[in-house]
Structures are given as structure tokens and as C-alpha cells.
Amino acid sequence: MYNVIIVDDEPVIRFGLKASVEWEKEGLSLIGDFPNGEEAINAMKKHHVDLLITDIKMPIMDGLTLMKKAIDLFPKLKVILVSSYNEFEYVKEGIKYGAVDYVLKPTLEQEEFVQLIQKCVHKMDEETNIEKKLTLVEQTTSLHERKKLEQELKRVLSNEKDSSHFKEIKNSMSGSLIVINMKINDVAKIEEQYGILFRRFTLEEIQERFYSKYEKGVCLAISETDLLFLIEVNGNPVKLIHQLNDEVVKESSLSFSFGYDVISNIYEADKGFHRSSLACERRFFYPNEVVFSYKEGKEPLEKPHQVEQLKQFLLPVDEKKVATYIEERYEHWKQGKMHPSDIKQEACDLVTSLFGNKLALSLLLDKCEHFKKIESLHELYRILTKQIAECVRLISDLRQKPSVDNELMESALSYIHQHYTKELTLQMVADHIHISRNYFSILFKQFSDQKFIDYVIDLRIKKATDLLMNTSLKVYEVAARSGFKDVKYFSKLFKRITGYSPVDFRTEHQK
């Protein structure tokens, strides 16, 4: 709505003007009427005004003076002058300064006045639409330029040393730059609960928000879990990252870690990228921290124990001896003398060395894949201990395993099909059939050739397609009845899987 004020020293005229128009119906809000220009200008300093209807001859401050002061406050203001027959020279001056039109007091007709009001509203609508189009063009042009910078930065990071790539970015960002590697935390849990696409959608939304709120800077996805930011340094880097988190990232329901490095110019971009990635990896040792700066290592990192060493230490398998060895290695790992990936590899080698000739290779490889996704040292230690105990139990139950597993999976699938439209997690199904979450995850994939969450999403999407084709439920109702809590995520996921938005799918398939 546009705001209107009426100014006239005659109360009866003000009353007549107010009563002549159904203001809200015309898209207007009448915020006040005043007896002179001084009171009106004071009110205009407190409220934005789009349309001024003012008498010309008034005490204290006349209408033309008011009009000039008001246009200084609001350059796009529309003005209608109210005059007598003998004020026409003043009317001409007012129109010269920008008044839209005028009305004569002695011959004021309601219909004519309403048409004049509508004329002003039409002008304001046209200007608003033009502004929106210009803003959209500017935003589109700006976004296009920044997407172009993204491509140039990708070429720089892929070690293409063509100086033209550096030049494009340098023209946009000069001087010292902060390189930030932002990584999604708890990826395995998110994937288990929502599927792989959820995190991709989240990163796309963060990138869009960054470009809408930051006039300068580049943001690009460097993996399914990471975004890289390149921003001009303006003050304390840690403070800048917290600002970025507050303005761009916090709207997401996920948590993130930030590793950063400051470079003196764009020509050091690849080095900054590498260092910010290394900084982010320190969360493995300090999972409760959020921001990590790059720190130069003074000593070369140790390598993991080799498989033959592990076999020498641990075979034949003795649970007490294995537990003592893992405890000792954990204390050593905590010193940070090994790279996280090497620690995870050592955990994998440990399990395969102990059980390589006793359990199926596919089962052990799945356990190793699980280790590689773990994000903190303490969690790795906990899971490693748990997995070894589970492997020992599996070996003892090996003879009855096939028939027991079939029964377990039948029970699990029945439970899934009964509950997939409600909250349903891997842990809930594992608890229902009384086995560990990790073993159920492996078992499910062996039997269905799908991850648990992908299987559940397939069921939910099939349910949604049926509801869209055969009911008139609103999209948010379809989402809820199919097991999706977030209608926005449902709509994106549905389009990615089916190729249609929910609305388009219904239109196409109900025909």
C-alpha cells in the first residue's frame, strides 16, 4: 500500500477529501490530515509518504513550500494541489515543480477526484514495476558476472596458470583475501536422515544467500559437503567468518566448520585453498570448535602402522590384547602427529587384519567405508571398539547367520512399510529387530542393494505421486502425508527425482 496525507486549513475541505475515496480499495493508506504545511512536514519526517494532497494557500507554511520540502524528503512523491479559481498562477508553478494535477475547491466532484487518485496510483505502480525490472536486470547481470568469476576461480584452483584467469578475479577483488573452506558437519547422520540431495540443496541455498547479501566475493561448491569462499579481508578474519555465519549460514538447519587462510593476493589462491582445507581438517581433533586457522606444521606427520606390523602385534586375536592396543593407539592419535585420513586408514587396516580370513570381505569393506566418514577422533575410537566387538559376535553366530538374517529383514521391511509416512530412522528399525544400527545398515544394503534412506525416500515419493494423481490435497498436505516434514525440501526432491514440480506433475498426470 502507498501512504497518503491531506493538508488543508479548512476542516470541511479536509473532511470532504477524506470521505470522497475508499482509500484501502484504491491501494492507499491515509495516515493523517493536517491544517498547515509545518505540521504536515513534521509528520512526513516520521512516516514515508507516497502521495501528498495539499491546499496552496495556508497559514504558517503554504502548499508550494510544503511541496518543495516534501519532494526533497521523498523524490518520487506524487502531489495533487487543491486550489481556488484565483490561484491558477500558483497551480502552474506547482505543476512545473512536479505536481501531478490539481482540483478546484468550488467545483470539486467526487468522481473526478477519485479518477485523479487512481491516476496517481497508476503512475506509482508503473514506477514500482520499472524499478523492480531494473533491479532484476542488475541482479541478473551481477550474478552472471559472479558466476563467471566462479569459473575463473575453478581454473585457478585446478592449476591453470593462464594469467587471464587471475586478471578477471583481481579486477573484482584486490589486495589481501580470506579463503574459507566451509564444511557440513555430521554428514553421515544427515545423509541417513534426509538422503544425499538434502545437503546439496542446502549448499545451493547458502550460495544464493551469499550472493544476495555480499556485493563482493566468490562462493563455489568444491564437493558435496564443502563450499569455498573468497572474500576481501576487512578487519579480523575470525570476526568476518562469524559475520558470514550469522548472515548467510545460520538460516540453515545444519551445522558447519570453517577453515581459513589469509593470502596477500589472488595469485596465492591455490595455496590458500589447500591451507584452508587443512585447517578445516583439524576439527577431527577438536570437534567442539567451529573456526580453524591454518597452522604451519613444524615436523613431518607420522605414517600409520603397516598391516604386517598390526598382524605381528595382534594375531592370534585376543580381545584383551586388542583392547589394550587400541587404547594405546588412541592416546597416540590424540597428539595430532598423524593426518586424520591416515588414522582412519590404520583403523581400517586393524579390522581387516583381525578378521580378513573369518568374515566376508564386503562386510569388512563396508565397515572401512564407515570409518572414512567419521568426523572426530573420539567417535572413531568409540566406533572402532564397537565394530571389533561386533565382529567377534558375528564370528560366533556365523553358522545360523543366513536363516536369522532372512527373518530379520522380513521383520524390518514389514516395519518400514507400516511406518515410512511417519518419522523413521535407521536406529528405530534396528531397535525394532534388536540388532545394532551399524549391522542393520550393512544387512539392509546387502539384501536390497540400496541404502536405507534411499529406500524410504523411494517409498515416500511413490506415495506422493499417488496422492497428487488421485486427491485434491494441497502440496504441503501431500508432503506431510508422504512422510516429509519440510515442504520446500519435498518440492525440490520431487522435481529432482521425477523431473516435475508437484504442481506440474499433478497437472500433467491428472489429464
Can you tell me the distance from the alpha carbon of 349 to that of 10, in angstroms, rounded to the nearest whole number? 94
- 8 A C-beta contact, residue 9 and residue 58: yes
pLDDT digit string, tens, across residues 2-44: 999 999 988 888 888 888 889 888 899 998 999 998 999 999 9
DSSP SS3 for 81: strand
Please give the share of the chain, as a percent, with pLDDT higher than 70: 86
Range 479-509 burial, b when 16+ CB lie within 10 A, else e: bbebbbebbebbbbbbeeebebebeebbeee
Residue 299 binned pLDDT confidence (cut-offs 50, 70, 90): low
What local confidence, expressed as pLDDT, does residue 477 receive?
A: 93
pLDDT digit string, tens, across residues 421-435: 999 988 899 889 888
Rg (CA), the chain: 34
pLDDT digit string, tens, across residues 173-205: 667 889 999 999 998 888 888 888 888 888 888
**Helices and strands, counts by H and E, the chain:** 22, 10
Q: Is the peptide bond before 502 cis (omega within 30 degrees of 0)?
A: no
Residue 375 binned pLDDT confidence (cut-offs 50, 70, 90): very high
Residue 276 binned pLDDT confidence (cut-offs 50, 70, 90): very high
Say whether pLDDT at 82 is over 70.
yes
Tell me the average pLDDT across 98-126.
83
Question: Under 8 Å CB-to-CB from 332, ≥6 apart: which residues?
Answer: none
Identify which has the larger pLDDT, 286 or 400: 286
What local confidence, expressed as pLDDT, does residue 435 receive?
A: 82
* Distance between first and last Cα of the chain: 40
DSSP string, 375-387: --HHHHHHHHHHH
What local confidence, expressed as pLDDT, does residue 402 receive?
A: 57
Identify which has the larger pLDDT, 130 or 378: 378
Tell me the average pLDDT across 364-380.
88
- 8 A C-beta contact, residue 86 and residue 36: no
pLDDT digit string, tens, across residues 260-273: 999 888 788 888 88
Residue 85 binned pLDDT confidence (cut-offs 50, 70, 90): low
Specify the DSSP class assigned to residue 477: H
Give the β-pairing of 291-293 and 256-263.
parallel
What local confidence, expressed as pLDDT, does residue 437 receive?
A: 79
Element (H, E) at 78: strand 78-83
Q: Which residue, 94, 7, 20, 14, is CA-closest to 53? A: 7
What local confidence, expressed as pLDDT, does residue 463 receive?
A: 93
SS (H, E, C) 191-244: HHHHCHHHHHHHHHHHHHHHHHHCCCCEEEECCCCEEEEEEECCCCHHHHHHHH
What local confidence, expressed as pLDDT, does residue 248 receive?
A: 86
Q: Which residue, 369, 348, 356, 346, is CA-closest to 317? A: 356
Residue 380 binned pLDDT confidence (cut-offs 50, 70, 90): very high
What local confidence, expressed as pLDDT, does residue 88 receive?
A: 67
CB atoms within 10 A of CB 272: 24
Can you tell me the distance from the alpha carbon of 70 to that of 61, in angstroms, rounded to the nearest whole number? 12
* Per-residue cell: 350: 586393524
- 8 A C-beta contact, residue 484 and residue 490: yes
Least confident of 69-83, 279-293, 457-471: 69-83
> In the block, which residue shows the cell 573369518?
358
Within its chain, how far is the Cα of 346 from the centroid? 36
What local confidence, expressed as pLDDT, does residue 81 receive?
A: 85
Say whether pLDDT at 52 is over 70.
yes
pLDDT digit string, tens, across residues 476-507: 999 999 999 889 889 999 998 888 899 999 88
Tell me the average pLDDT across 343-369.
82
Say whether pLDDT at 391 is over 70.
yes
- 8 A C-beta contact, residue 359 and residue 320: no
DSSP SS3 for 288: coil
Q: Compute the residue count for the chain.
A: 511
pLDDT digit string, tens, across residues 199-234: 888 888 898 888 888 878 888 888 889 999 988 888
Backbone angles phi, psi at 103, to 5 degrees: -130, 145
Can you tell me the distance from the alpha carbon of 422 to that of 431, in angstroms, rounded to the nearest whole number? 16
Can you tell me the distance from the alpha carbon of 507 to that of 511, in angstroms, rounded to the nearest whole number? 7
Say whether pLDDT at 315 is over 90.
no
Identify which has the larger pLDDT, 117 or 437: 117
* Per-residue cell: 182: 566451509
What local confidence, expressed as pLDDT, does residue 171 receive?
A: 58
Q: Which residue, 107, 73, 90, 60, is CA-closest to 52? A: 73
Backbone angles phi, psi at 357, to 5 degrees: -105, 10
- 8 A C-beta contact, residue 261 and residue 241: no
DSSP SS3 for 291: strand
Least confident of 144-158, 197-211, 223-237, 318-332: 144-158
Report CA torsion sign: 499, 503, 507, 509: positive
What local confidence, expressed as pLDDT, does residue 287 receive?
A: 92
Least confident of 291-295, 445-449, 473-477: 445-449
DSSP SS3 for 31: strand
